A and B are shown apart, each in its own frame.
Chain A
């Protein structure tokens, strides 16, 4: 392999790095360890004895702090991070070092071919995996074990193991693919992939109005009447695509909202006002069309869908791939749309652009998949091992597509719109279905799923329909196996009248049943131990203020978990909002609550009733016991009893009692539990779904039913009796989490 090694090394470790000469020398020494045999690089003779000690490596690593992924420093950071490994013995290098050496050789190749993204990826994963105790250290060990003398055989091993991970549906697959990809690039002697799209708005000349600019306005005419200068204290920055009004929890109204705008158009499109109207109409539309009305004429009945599906397969098989290529393509797209629930436009854009957002066709491996990517509530925590305590460990899963369709579609080409409508006309006439349209075909899978197989949540996840309009998807948690089984049932139902073989759907039984969904949902075990720790803290603390706070924080978490109320100031509410006899509480937890009377009923389970009553007793005894230390305690507790103050409060740093709010709780427990505040709702929703609670009940309790569901009646469209029926479910959640009452 012809590579200018010196130039490549200099690119990898540029002059800006401290002590770059030594780092380069060391890099080449390490690269030479595995010799020319690996990928026939003619490495220059270096001073064999040039080795940096662990201390020096650590110092190098430390010097890269804060810029570990910076273009100039990433390779140096990786080299520095090898201080985690055992000392290097050049004459007899350990397997770990041989693997490091191979990575260095890969880097040289990537640098030579200007594969910038690969360099970033390789250095990042290698740096993270070397650390003992990191979540992926076992993958590092696996690579060390699988490496062989030359790249081809190493790749075979790696490929085999990747296949294994794929088979068992392992969550490590995504990470491991990075090694696989690195080797693949080098083995197949690949160059930088450059795609230049010919169409698409992005390539158009940017208009002047699109240019970002910062305007400075000088203020010198300060109003003489004002007593003080106006100072801006708080900004809320948002990007275009982030809905500013969504679940802001209690951040509080900022003084200013800066909408980072890239164009006037985007600014208009994402203005809060527009966003509100849009969300509202979207929801109403979605509800009317798809959720409530099963006898809607706009929804095709199952037998019609079956006939269409069978007819299209017939056509597909009849047409030859060479002569009627365009027509066959149209038909395969229609079939693909019925198999995936995505629109033809989305599918063709995805396949021709090779975006692999929905469809992954790979002729080499003979694998044809529908990708379901559900990265809605993303994980922002970086704590070590966090993945292992998440309820939902997967962000995506794939579903097999029929091979004959995949093989045909792998040859890309654009759809001819005229032929598309011809085919639809032909089908309409052949099947005598006057109300057949493209949209109804595209919706076929979705209607089958919601009316015949499953609920609309899973239907939305599979087909992507209404995915962004539905609040409950943000909280969802579904087992991958379950999704696949439901999909399989739907397809079997759809294809009842066809002769096409759907054996390809038969599941490989997984050893692990992983879940896909919200990344803000901790698993039950960690929730259980956290709540128990809060209880222990409340019991063990002696200082009266700390004890009060610990008890309040425990009750706050328990009531959030057992009512699924949003974590906002003062929840679950004032004492007069509770009805202990009936087991009902009316809550008001939405953003607009300050102005509108938006309340809804949620159930109050036995455990929570007891917990709240004990807390009330505690408040009374607390007041009589400690009031002489601070007479205000008595007033405050009286306020709680007279409904002038929310039930749960905390002492702030000044020793004053404040209504509980997420920021205060966060201050107290930030070091102990870092999930975003509304994790309790994620856990709650997961549990309710697992208990097969009716979807409409869940929507109602979570306040997801409709825009302004609370403004009509406190119990929304669901009757009080139905809401009360959920009490045992929440009680069962308390039992499942093994929550115990605080004993003082």
Chain B
């Protein structure tokens, strides 16, 4: 709490980040899980979509680093020549946590067709209290279908179509047996 008193005051003005400051731009630890799902699972073309010469981010600033917590697509679309503007909103920890998940969920709902893998990741990793805040209860397939405006059949169809094979490295024993038996 003491720390928070020393934090700079929030501002609604966008300020441009120097290239040196850019190196201090981090994902906020509270938003990390949501961000990790986003960078690991969302399709590449979606991430590299934006070609804006300027990117606007809301950040949390602690006088050393800039922490962003949403608008991941814009951040990932940044190149060396992108101008980055930040707004030091100084949100609370819990709101950054919530916002990061809200952002990823929103991005997920915009994906067409529905991405089953990401649904499973969200279902598994999104904290229960966040699910309750965003849906009023725990997230279900029905909720996703309703929000996306698709039928349950559509979801099931995609589920069957996108069946992801879980890869497991066979042990040395199994590898030998496979080779001996000729398959």
CA distance A537 to B165 in the complex (A): 11
Alpha-carbon gap, A386 to B39, bound state (A) = 42
Which among B36, B177, B180 has the greatest number of chain A C-beta atoms within 10 A? Answer: B180
9-residue interface stretch from B20-28, B88-96, B103-111: B20-28
From A383, A533, A628, contact of B170 by CB (8 A)? A533
Given contacts A536-B167, A628-B75, A631-B26, contact A542 B176 (CB under 8 A): no
Cβ contacts under 8 Å, B179 to chain A: 388-389, 523, 525-526, 529
Contact A671 B167 (CB under 8 A): no
Please tell me if B148 contacts chain A, counting CB pairs below 8 Å: no
| Binary contact readout A164-180 vs B (1 if CB under 8 angstroms, 0 otherwise) | 00000000000000000
Residues on the A chain within 8 Å of B26, using CB: 628, 631
Question: Which residues of A have CB within 8 Å of B36?
Answer: 544, 629
Q: Enumerate chain B residues within 8 angstroms of A672, measured Cβ to Cβ.
A: 169-172, 175
B35: CB under 8 A from chain A? Answer: yes
Question: Cβ of A669: which chain B residues have Cβ within 8 Å of it?
Answer: 169
Report the separation of the CA atoms of residues A192 and B170 in the bound assembly, to the nearest whole angstrom. 48
The distance in angstroms between the C-alpha atoms of A389 and B27, with both chains bound, is: 49
Which interface class (under 10, 10 to 19, 20 to 34, 35 or more) fits B? 20 to 34
Q: In whole angstroms, how far apart are the Cα atoms of A536 and B165 in the complex?
A: 11
Contact B40 A542 (CB under 8 A): yes
Q: Chain B contacts of A673 at CB under 8 A?
A: 172, 175
Find chain B residues with CB under 8 A from A383 CB: 172-173, 176
Which residues from B are CB-within-8-Å of A543? 40
Q: Are B167 and A540 in contact (CB under 8 A)?
A: yes
Q: Which residues of A contact B169 (CB under 8 A)?
A: 533, 537, 669, 671-672
In the bound assembly, the distance between CA atoms of A502 and B165 in angstroms comes to 62
- Distance in angstroms between the alpha carbons of A628 and B177 in the assembled complex: 44
Is B7 part of the contact surface with A, judged by Cβ < 8 Å? no
B40 touches A388 (CB 8 A): no
B8-48 to A contact mask, C-beta < 8 Å, 1/0:
00000000000000010111000010011001110000010
Q: Which residue of A lies closest to B166 (CB)?
A: A540
A384 within 8 A of B: yes
Provided the pairs A542-B40, A542-B41, A672-B170 are in contact, do residues A628 and B176 lie with their beta carbons within 8 angstroms?
no
Contact of B39 with A530 in the complex, beta carbons under 8 Å:
no
A542–B36 alpha-carbon span in the complex (Å):
10
A523 to B176, CA, bound (A): 11
Q: Which residues does chain B contribute within 8 Å of A631, judged by CB atoms?
A: 23, 26
Q: Does B76 contact A (CB under 8 A)?
A: yes
Interface centre among B27, B165, B175 (most CB of A within 10 A): B175
Report B121 CB to chain A, min CB distance, Å.
8
Chain A residues within an 8 Å CB radius of B178: 529
B92 to chain A minimum Cβ distance, whole angstroms, is 21
Q: Complex formed: what's the CA distance from A541 to B168 in Å?
A: 10
Q: How far is the CB of B30 from chain A (nearest CB, A)?
A: 13
Contacting residues, chain B, for A624 (C-beta < 8 A): 76
Contact of B176 among A389, A629, A671 (CB under 8 A): A389
Whether B167 contacts A384 by the Cβ 8 Å rule is no
Residue in contact with B175 in the complex, picked from A529, A540, A625, A628, CB distance below 8 Å:
A529
How far is the CB of B103 from the nearest CB of chain A, in Å? Answer: 14
CA distance in complex: A642, B93 (Å): 39
Tell me, rounded to whole Å, the shortest Cβ–Cβ distance linking A50 to chain B.
Answer: 38
**Nearest neighbor of A386 in chain B, beta-carbon distance:** B176
- Smallest distance from the beta carbon of A478 to chain B beta carbons, Å? 22
A267 within 8 A of B: no
| Chain B hits for A389, CB < 8 A | 176, 179-180
A629 to B39 CA separation, bound complex (whole angstroms): 10
B172 to chain A: which residues have CB within 8 Å?
383, 671-674
Q: Which residues of B contact A544 (CB under 8 A)?
A: 36, 39-40
The answer for the CA separation of A674 and B174 in the assembled complex, in Å, is 12
Chain B neighbourhood of A541, CB < 8 A: 167
Q: List 7 A-B contacts (CB under 8 A).
A: A383-B172, A544-B39, A625-B39, A628-B35, A629-B35, A629-B36, A671-B169
- 6 closest Cβ pairs, A-B complex: A540-B167, A526-B179, A385-B176, A628-B27, A388-B180, A672-B169
Interface on B for A, CB 8 Å cutoff? 23, 25-27, 32, 35-36, 39-41, 47, 68, 75-76, 165-167, 169-173, 175-180
Given A386-B176, A629-B35: 11 more A-B contacts, CB < 8 Å: A383-B176, A526-B175, A530-B175, A537-B169, A540-B167, A543-B40, A624-B76, A628-B26, A671-B169, A671-B172, A672-B171
Q: Which residues of A contact B (CB under 8 A)?
A: 383-386, 388-389, 523, 525-526, 529-530, 533, 536-537, 540-544, 624-626, 628-629, 631, 669, 671-674
